[in-house]
Amino acid sequence: MTLTVKDIQDAATRIAQAIIDTRFEQPQTLSAMAGTDLYLKFENFQLNASFKARGALNKLLLLKKQG
């Protein structure tokens, strides 16, 4: 199965009500070390302190629709 932009947009719509919109920040030291502008997303602010909530919730919502 090939993942498409539409698949990602659909997943974002499905989980939007349950997921906290976390911020991005630019770590100056890490960006300088890498020689580019890096941005980190603070997924540790999710209720379970992990980005995994997004994928797991999306999968559960898809299973619920199938069953």
Question: Is the model's pTM score more than 0.75?
Answer: no
Per-residue tokens: 45 = 């602010």
Q: Which residue has the higher pLDDT, 45 or 17?
A: 17
Q: Where are the domains of the chain?
A: 21-66
For 13-37, write each residue's pLDDT tens digit: 998 888 877 788 999 999 999 999 9
The band of 47, judged by pLDDT with boundaries at 50, 70 and 90, is low
Contact residues for 23 (Cβ-Cβ < 8 A; gap 6+): 41, 42, 45
Nearest to 45 by CA among 25, 19, 27: 19
Contact residues for 42 (Cβ-Cβ < 8 A; gap 6+): 22, 23, 24, 25
C-alpha–C-alpha distance, residues 59 and 51, integer Å:
14
Instruction: Outline where 19-66 has alpha helix (H).
Output: 28-34, 52-66
